């Protein structure tokens, strides 16, 4: 991750203070605010409020939170802290993968507060290595003419500790001196595209342009999109993919226009126990996210503004499922998998 030319990670263990450190994604792009806490409950709440979000990132962050919980409250680790972290968000399976990993480690006879921290750091490092490998495979694929890439939500550094999944390939192409161009869907209602992806790509100097989600199909119709690449929150055993709401509509439009649609995700996003997409739990978030928006006012302060008819009810499913036959290939750390 490259902020103002300085390399850092979206979440990390601070060895000096012995607690996790994270970039508050709710403040971006208006302010770069780093936070730290030694309270596992604060870590769990940061996942719920989406200060830390994105499938691989919440897995790694939960691992840090659980290492903290093991050291501070060893007697409540199994019965309170594991369920507490598992309940923070329902769709991204990386969270459950990380909780299972930390539970298995805690139950082994080598577990100590120190080895639990080492296990969590190892988990985060592995995610970063996987994302880097995904980017290498993706960059090879995109180097063959598919340079005008459309992406949705944020599947970059911020979502994945470092490198990203969908954006990892774009960053690698860019660092090789190639010139990828990215259409950034704004991603209503929380605007991860407008606020996070656009900011990340600009920090790295990648050529990009923001657009309303509803512009995507029209850009495809006009021949202005060579490929679509998104991340994933859970991939079922049959290859169906849950990702940010709006991904399914992109896949439908891509198929109609004969445009390749790639999913980039590490193995920690794959759920072999989930037979198909209809079995994936879809998070329903607050209607407030649809009826209100955060804005930067003329005094430079962030404030909430109502953007809908007062009193209207609002529907806010946070994810949707794209059936496997709309997906050209899934790119993971092992390579590129076609249906
Ligand atoms: O609700 P969010 O912001 O956590 O959703 C994130 C996404 O849907 C991302 O596309 C996905 O996690 C891929 S992360 C590399």
For residue 156, the ligand 1 atom closest to its alpha carbon is 15
Per the DSSP assignment, residues forming a β-bridge with 270 are 235
Angle, alpha carbons 94-243-5 (nearest 5°):
75
Residue 107 to residue 96: CA distance in whole angstroms: 16
185 and 99, same structural domain? no
Give the E-state strand segments of the chain in sequence order. Answer: 2-3, 6-7, 11-14, 19-23, 34-36, 148-151, 181-185, 207-211, 227-230, 234-236, 241-244, 261-264, 270-271, 292-296, 302-306, 319-322, 329-332, 335-337
Which are the contacts of 323, defined by CB distance < 8 A and separation ≥ 6? 240, 277
171 and 92, same structural domain? no
For ligand 1, whether the C-beta of 260 sits within 6 Å is no
Ligand 1 center–CA 109 separation, angstroms: 35
DSSP state of 77: I
332 and 206, same structural domain? yes
96 touches 76 (CB < 8 A): no
Last residue of a domain, one of 128, 155, 190: 128
- Structure confidence at residue 145 (pLDDT): 79
- Name the pTM for this structure: 0.97
Ligand 1 center–CA 231 separation, angstroms: 7
Nearest to 9 by CA among 99, 129, 93, 105: 129
End-to-end Cα distance, the chain: 32
230 and 151, same structural domain? yes
283 touches 316 (CB < 8 A): no
173 touches 139 (CB < 8 A): yes
Protein residue with least CA distance to atom 13, ligand 1: 231
277 and 229, same structural domain? yes
Ligand 1 center–CA 159 separation, angstroms: 6
155 and 104, same structural domain? no
- C-alpha 63 chain-centroid distance: 16
Provide the b/e sequence for 293-302 (b: ≥16 CB within 10 Å): beeeeeeeee
Q: How far is CA 51 from CA 207, 317, 321, in A?
A: 26, 19, 24
Last residue of a domain, one of 128, 157, 192: 128
Residue 25 to residue 41: CA distance in whole angstroms: 18
Read off the CATH number of the domain in which 87 is found.
1.20.120.420
Last residue of a domain, one of 70, 100, 128: 128
275 and 157, same structural domain? yes
For ligand 1, whether the C-beta of 53 sits within 6 Å is yes
- Structure confidence at residue 86 (pLDDT): 98
Per the DSSP assignment, residues forming a β-bridge with 329 are 262
DSSP state of 170: H
Which are the contacts of 236, defined by CB distance < 8 A and separation ≥ 6? 242, 271, 274, 275, 276, 277, 279, 280
H-assigned helices in 143-180: 157-160, 166-175
Q: How many CB atoms lie within 10 A of CB 267?
A: 14
Give me the numbers of helices (H) and strands (E) for the chain, helices first please. 12, 18
- Structure confidence at residue 297 (pLDDT): 92
131 touches 162 (CB < 8 A): yes
**Could you confirm whether 233 is annotated as catalytic?**
yes
* Digitized pLDDT (tens) for each residue of the chain, 339 residues in all: 889 888 999 999 999 999 999 999 999 999 999 999 999 999 999 999 999 999 999 999 999 999 999 999 999 999 999 999 999 999 999 999 999 999 999 999 889 999 999 999 999 999 999 999 999 999 999 888 778 999 999 999 999 999 999 999 999 999 999 999 999 999 999 999 999 999 999 999 999 999 999 999 999 999 999 999 999 999 999 999 999 999 999 999 999 999 999 999 999 999 999 999 999 999 999 999 999 999 999 998 999 999 999 999 999 999 999 999 999 999 999 999 998
For residue 190, the ligand 1 atom closest to its alpha carbon is 3
107 and 159, same structural domain? no
Please pick, among 213, 226, 233, 271, the residue that the annotation labels catalytic: 233
How many domains are contained in the chain?
2
- Structure confidence at residue 220 (pLDDT): 98
327 and 308, same structural domain? yes
325 and 190, same structural domain? yes
- Structure confidence at residue 185 (pLDDT): 99
Nearest to 187 by CA among 210, 220, 217: 210
Domain span at residue 20 reads 2-128
Residue 225 to residue 221: CA distance in whole angstroms: 9
Read off the CATH number of the domain in which 328 is found.
3.40.50.10470
């Amino acid at each position: 991750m490259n902020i103002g030319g300085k390399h850092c990670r979206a979440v990390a263990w601070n060895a000096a203070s012995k607690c996790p450190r994270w970039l508050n994604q709710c403040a971006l792009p208006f302010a770069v605010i780093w936070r730290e806490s030694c309270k596992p409950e604060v870590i769990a709440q940061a996942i719920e409020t989406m200060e830390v979000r994105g499938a691989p990132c919440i897995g790694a962050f939960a691992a840090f939170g659980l290492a903290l919980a093991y050291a501070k409250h060893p007697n409540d680790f199994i019965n309170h802290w594991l369920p507490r972290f598992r309940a923070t968000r329902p769709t991204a399976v990386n969270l459950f993968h990380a909780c299972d990993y930390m539970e298995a480690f805690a139950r082994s006879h080598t577990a100590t507060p120190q080895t639990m921290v080492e296990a969590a750091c190892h988990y985060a490092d592995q995610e970063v290595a996987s994302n880097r490998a995904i980017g290498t495979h993706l960059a090879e694929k995109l180097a063959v003419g598919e340079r005008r890439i459309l992406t949705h939500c944020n599947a970059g550094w911020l979502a994945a500790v470092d490198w990203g999944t969908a954006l990892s390939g774009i960053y690698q192409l860019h660092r090789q001196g190639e010139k990828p161009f990215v259409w950034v869907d704004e991603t209503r209602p929380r605007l991860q595209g407008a606020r996070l992806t656009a900011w990340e790509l600009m920090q790295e100097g990648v050529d990009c342009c923001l657009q309303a989600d509803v512009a995507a199909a029209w850009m495809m119709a006009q021949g202005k999109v060579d490929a679509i690449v998104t991340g994933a929150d859970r991939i079922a055993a049959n290859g169906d993919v849950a990702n940010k709401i709006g991904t399914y509509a992109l896949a439908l439009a891509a198929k109609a226009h004969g445009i390749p649609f790639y999913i980039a995700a590490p193995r920690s996003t794959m759920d072999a126990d989930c037979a198909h997409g209809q079995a994936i739990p879809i998070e329903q978030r607050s209607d407030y996210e649809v009826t209100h928006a955060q804005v930067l006012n003329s005094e430079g302060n962030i404030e909430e503004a109502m953007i809908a008819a007062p009193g209207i009810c609002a529907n806010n499913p946070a994810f949707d499922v794209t059936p496997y036959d709309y997906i050209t290939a899934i790119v993971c750390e092992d390579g590129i998998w076609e249906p």
